[in-house]
Amino acid sequence: MKNSNAASSPALLLIGSGDRLYRGYALKALADRYRVILIDAAEPTWQKPHLTGHRVADPADLEALRGAVQELAALHRIGGVLSWNEFAVVHTALIAESLGTPGLDPIAVRTCRFKPAARAVFDAHNVPSARWVPVYDFAHVRMAADHLGYPFVLKPASAAGSAGVIRVDSPDQLQSAYAFTAQAAARHGVDGAGLLAEEYLTGPEASIEVVSLNGRHHVAAVTHKQLSQPPYFEELSHIVAPELHSPDTDAAEEVAVQALEALDITHGVAHVEIRLTPVGPRIIEVNPRLGGDLIPHLVRLATGIDLVAAAADLAMGLLPDLRPTRAQAAAIGFVYPTTAGQLQTLTTDPSLPARPWCERAVLEQQPNALVAPPPASGLDSRLAHLIVTADTPALCRRRMDRALASVHADITAPDTEQTAAA
């Protein structure tokens, strides 16, 4: 229900709104419940209808962020602080702490963000994870390969969205893999310093969406993922379906809670990534924020549980409603270019929006854009995403296959003169 209180009612401070295609639904959900004030690196555009106030400040600049918070606090009574931006969660925890609003221990959040520190905590608390080695230069990569054996995975110590993650299968790939991952890590400045080499875990990947309050954890949903073929780990689709519940997901839920307890993540919504290996679930990483890729939206479509509302309520010190009201399957699929070049046309079946089972079919790129398959531009490589629903997971997957097959992209070799001018 939309909050209609006077301007004196507490406001929810959101740090970083994210991309409209993937976070627009979440901002609207916040505004339906609370007065929302925003701090972001640029002036709001599409966000404006959902905001009571805003300030421009880089969420990565803590001092600038503090200054913006001070200005907003002089105008609004801030009742809670929230961020779903991976690179702003530490500063968000610090701001919440300084305001005295509910939130996480900043040290616990920082540990989640720095993968070697999280791995060390998992080891100390016997949380099933992967064997790992910190990497600081190319010599360490060679030592990691000797210790872990092939194949192994190389990734930035602090990144997101599978950026810079690569599987290394043989010694002749070490140099190129190191350059690829180090370049991705460097894009995140000081926060991206260092790499991590870890054991390659086989088996399907899932994420556990967990809501925590005062150290008590409630599993809201399990998201099953489809990844691209190695050596990269691009996410191709996600499906949420209570019908996929199994002993494997039971075990994964238990490991997810173990990881949260080990890391002292006691409050808020977390997105815990896990591999369902032949010898049991193993933690990949813990993200102390809402999942990306519209996963909370899938959870709401499949179960009726609104994770965005839950995160907002917890930030405001209120008890969230976690009662499921439906049980169906909901899936999202992503379309990537298969070749590099200039996008001429991008189309999908115009009848899709009229299908009751197609929740959305979104074309992400415009004609004349230069596109390339992953990992060239990471998540920005995507051409389209589509969401479908069904009564069963099998029917949902068939509908997703049908929807994805309807997307057609005409890509030609780029105009070299235009590319050079750009």
Indicate if the pLDDT at residue 3 is higher than 60: no
Q: Tokens 């990565």 map to which residue? A: 60
Residue among 184, 188, 194, 174 nearest 115 (CA): 194
Query: For 307-317, how does the pLDDT look when each residue is reduced to its tens digit (9 = 90+)?
Result: 999 999 999 99
DSSP 365: -
In SS3 terms, 44-88 reads as CCCCHHHCCEEEECCCCCHHHHHHHHHHHHCCCCEEEEECCCHHH
Task: Say what the pLDDT of residue 2 is.
Answer: 47
Instruction: List, edge to edge, every strand of the sheet that includes 358-363.
Output: 280-287, 268-277, 205-213, 216-227, 235-240, 329-335, 384-390, 358-363
| Lowest pLDDT segment from 139-153, 157-171, 181-195, 399-413 | 181-195
Task: Say what the pLDDT of residue 380 is.
Answer: 85
Average pLDDT over residues 318-345: 96
Mean pLDDT score of the chain, rounded to an integer?
93
* Residue 342 burial (C-beta neighbours within 10 Å; 0-12, 13-18, 19+): middle
Do 16 and 48 form a contact (C-beta atoms < 8 A)? no
Query: For 173-212, how does the pLDDT look when each residue is reduced to its tens digit (9 = 90+)?
Result: 999 999 999 988 887 655 556 899 999 999 999 999 999 9
Do 112 and 263 form a contact (C-beta atoms < 8 A)? yes
Do 229 and 242 form a contact (C-beta atoms < 8 A)? no
Count Cβ atoms below 10 Å from residue 172 Cβ, excluding itself: 8
- pTM of the complete model: 0.93
Average pLDDT over residues 223-245: 94
Question: What is the fold of 328-422?
Answer: D-amino Acid Aminotransferase; Chain A, domain 1 (3.30.470)
Report how far apart, in Å, the C-alpha atoms of 408 and of each of 72, 96, 344, 349, 403 are.
Answer: 46, 46, 11, 9, 11
Domain 131-199 in CATH 3.30.1490.20? The answer is: yes
Which ranges in the chain are annotated with CATH 3.30.1490.20? 131-199
Residue among 32, 39, 36, 40 nearest 12 (CA): 36
* CATH architecture for residues 11-101: 3-Layer(aba) Sandwich (3.40)
Which ranges in the chain are annotated with CATH 3.40.50.20? 11-101
